């Protein structure tokens, strides 16, 4: 448990590289360089959110790793439901939204051998008691917190405890090979089938209708010409 760090994922990766056991958690009160996907930053003010990273060593092939992001998203939504007046939604692959605004984000980083996972670090940021005025101007319209949604502050310790319990349950399902159960719950939280989106990838932009998320956790998108694309990674914007 750190008062301040640059990034809990960076610290967790250092520990994982030195052989720290599965289940190690790095928790910080504040991050000076909190990271999101694709090099973005994650606003991490002191004492107002949950910023943590978990070290996992699942005995599965590297191809299974993307499922861990969806699994974590389900655990986060399960935690948030009792606190929020409106249901949280997941946006593929790693954002949790409330009323269209981001309340939590997940950053999964992996170190692999040729055919095995050395370790996975799952990083999580949840905006708990961040007042609206504290969000930087450039994200204020797109970000929210449990405080903003409910008008009152909440115990970060209670939310952390709840998350770890839910995460343990979903991770147990994952290790037992029961990802389809997790995926069904993810789809219920996503409500994304039939929605029109734009997907930005390196070197190209696709627009179309979400058909489904497949058994590997990848997005199936039908473009305007009727072609089906399997999206492994990209940034999704709802149209």
- In the structure encoding, which two tokens stand for residue 60, read together? 């599965």
The torsion angle over the Cα atoms of residues 222, 223, 227 and 231, rounded to 10 degrees, is -60
pLDDT of residue 150: 97
Q: Please check whether the domain covering 8-190 is classified as CATH 3.30.930.10.
A: yes
- In the structure encoding, which two tokens stand for residue 108, read together? 């999964």
pLDDT of residue 217: 92
pLDDT tens across 141-168, in order?
Answer: 999 999 999 999 999 999 999 999 999 9
pLDDT of residue 34: 55
What predicted TM-score, i.e. pTM, was given to this entire model?
Answer: 0.92
CA dist list (Å): 184 to 70, 212, 214, 215: 11, 11, 11, 10
For the packed helices 66-80 and 156-175, what is the interaxial angle rounded to 10 degrees?
Answer: 140
Same fold, 8-190 and 196-238: no
CB count in 10 Å sphere of residue 127: 28
Nearest to 122 by CA among 194, 165, 73: 73
pLDDT tens across 85-124, in order?
Answer: 999 999 998 899 999 999 999 999 999 988 899 999 999 9
Tell me which DSSP letter residue 166 carries. Answer: H
- In the structure encoding, which two tokens stand for residue 227, read together? 């072609």
Share of the chain above pLDDT 70, in %: 95
pLDDT of residue 42: 63
pLDDT of residue 47: 80
pLDDT tens across 30-66, in order?
Answer: 777 655 545 555 677 778 899 999 999 999 999 999 9
Confidence grade of residue 83 (pLDDT, cut at 50, 70, 90): very high
Q: What SS3 class is residue 161? A: helix
What CATH number has the domain spanning 196-238?
2.30.30.100
Q: Domain segments of the chain: what residues?
A: 8-190, 196-238
The DSSP H or E segment spanning 105 is strand 101-112
DSSP letters spanning 106-139 = EEEEEEE-SSSEEEEEEEEEEE-S--GGGS-TTT
CB count in 10 Å sphere of residue 222: 15
Confidence grade of residue 6 (pLDDT, cut at 50, 70, 90): confident
Confidence grade of residue 7 (pLDDT, cut at 50, 70, 90): confident
Share of the chain above pLDDT 90, in %: 79
The contacts of residue 55 (CB under 8 Å, 6+ apart) are 12, 15, 16, 20, 21, 22, 23, 24, 25, 119, 120, 121
Mean per-residue pLDDT of the chain: 92
- In the structure encoding, which two tokens stand for residue 35, read together? 């990271």
């Amino acid at each position: 448990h750190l008062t301040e760090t640059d990034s809990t994922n960076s610290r967790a990766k250092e520990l994982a590289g030195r052989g720290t056991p599965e289940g190690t958690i790095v928790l910080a009160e504040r991050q000076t360089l909190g990271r999101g996907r694709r090099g973005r930053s994650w606003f991490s003010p002191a004492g107002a959110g949950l910023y943590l990273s978990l070290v996992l060593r699942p005995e599965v092939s590297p191809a299974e790793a993307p499922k861990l992001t969806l699994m974590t998203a389900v655990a986060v939504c399960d935690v948030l439901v009792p606190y929020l007046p409106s249901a949280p939604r997941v946006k593929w692959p790693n954002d949790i939204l409330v009323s269209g605004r981001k309340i939590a984000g997940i950053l999964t980083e992996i170190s692999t051998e040729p055919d095995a996972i050395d370790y996975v670090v799952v990083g999580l940021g949840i905006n708990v008691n961040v007042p609206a005025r504290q969000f930087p101007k450039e994200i204020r319209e797109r970000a929210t917190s449990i405080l903003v949604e409910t008008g009152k502050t909440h115990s970060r310790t209670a939310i952390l405890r709840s998350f770890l319990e839910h995460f343990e349950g979903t991770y147990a399902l994952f290790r037992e090979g029961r990802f389809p159960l997790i995926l069904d719950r993810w789809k219920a939280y996503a409500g994304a089938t039939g929605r029109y989106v734009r997907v930005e990838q390196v070197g190209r932009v696709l627009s179309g209708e979400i058909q489904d998320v497949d058994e590997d956790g990848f997005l199936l998108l039908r473009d305007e010409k009727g072609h089906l694309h399997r999206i492994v990674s990209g940034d999704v914007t709802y149209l």
